[in-house]
Amino acid sequence: MRGVILDSDSFDRGDLDTAALDNALDHWTHHRSTMPDEVPKRLEGYEVVVTNKVVIDATAMESSALRLIVVAATGTNNIDLAAAARRGIAVCNVRDYASAAVSQHVFSLVLALVTHLGDYTRAVGQGRWQQSKVFCMLDYPIRELAGLTLGIIGYGNLGRSVAQIAQGFQMQVLICARPGSNAVPDGRVSLDTLLETADVISLHCPLSDATRNLIGKAQLQRMKSDAILINTARGGIVNEDDLAAALRQGNIGGAGIDVLTEEPPGADHPLLATNIPNLLVSPHNAWGSIQSRQRLTDEIADLIRSYREGVPRNCCPPD
């Protein structure tokens, strides 16, 4: 079998052990990145394709000999799953490889926001500490996480990992009922209750019709004026124009964002403006520890081997 990787730069920067992946197929072709109009041509003659974020739609599949699509991520919204099913193409994704890295990043953002770490380090760089008449600077408010309430929306492996770390900080944890459902099971709270109660809200749900623009103007207005919003899930779950407005108006206390609707974003993206207070934006790299990316690479190889042995795993049927 012949395989092609469409966007290897999105997960391998030459710092991984790729022996298992190299040996999973008889022949590989690697592309560091692939533009949309290049996809159909680059699929020709290959039975297996690995893609992280490159879109593979029905048109791209038409003239291909594909038998297996491996998504080098958990989200599969870049694959036309219905078209793949019609053509008998298996689609498999990689699951639970980045929980440690993403959970760590969530609290990197939270801690930076509650301590105003960026503001203080900039103040030192500007010489303001050096000019102080006392030994320290306390120009920006510093809060402790102990006693604060963390609200989690999306309680899969990532949500559970974040909850566990929060308990280590002595935070109270609230779990939101499944978005789009009217039922509120025991041990969960409604979205409105979570928005009104939580001091920190962390998103870990997939992007779907039920979660698109889940957090918009109305939801931001329900939040506490000093609450912090963290999104390491998917762009599109938070309405970005509404978030920018809420931060400028002081309706919420801050936000840490790792994902945007457009990636990479244009220079005019609403959350890249320089006049938005208490906003941290990282470049969708919460998941990108070297350990996480090694697990991802090894699992891609294992998914291919499982398929070739007739026992495919992590299959993604159409909705």
Catalytic site positions: 234, 263, 284
CATH topology of domain 2-97+290-308: Rossmann fold (3.40.50)
With 80 as the cut, is the pLDDT of residue 319 above it? no
CATH classification code of 99-281: 3.40.50.720
The C-alpha atoms of residue 174 and residue 264 are separated, in whole angstroms, by: 32
3-state secondary structure (DSSP) of residue 303:
helix
Q: Summarize the chain as % helix, strand, coil (round to 5).
A: 35, 15, 50
What whole-number distance in Å separates Cα of residue 273 and Cα of residue 197?
A: 29
Average pLDDT over residues 164-193: 94
What does pTM read for this prediction? Answer: 0.92
Could you give the percent of the chain with pLDDT greater than 90? 95
pLDDT digits (tens, 9 = 90+) for 227-243: 999 999 999 999 999 99
Q: Which residues of 229-249 are buried (b: 16+ CB within 10 A; e: fewer)?
A: bbbbbbbbbbbbebbbebbee
- Collapsing DSSP states into helix, strand and coil, what is residue 308? helix
Domain boundaries, the chain: 2-97+290-308, 99-281
Task: Quick: pLDDT tens for 39-91.
Answer: 999 999 999 999 999 999 999 999 889 999 999 999 898 999 999 999 999 99
How much is the average pLDDT of 196-220?
A: 95
Per-residue pLDDT, 136 = 96
Residues 6 or more apart in contact with residue 281 via CB below 8 angstroms: 257, 258, 260, 271, 272
Q: Is the pLDDT of residue 181 over 90?
A: no
246-283 pLDDT, tens per residue?
Answer: 999 999 999 999 999 999 999 999 999 999 999 999 99
Q: Distance (Å, rounded) from C-alpha 239 to C-alpha 196?
A: 18
Mean pLDDT across the chain, nearest whole number?
96
pLDDT score of 182 more than 90: no
pLDDT for position 189: 97
Domain 2-97+290-308 identical in fold to domain 99-281:
yes
Residue 123 has pLDDT above 80, yes or no: yes
* Cα 79 to Cα 243: distance, rounded to the nearest angstrom: 29
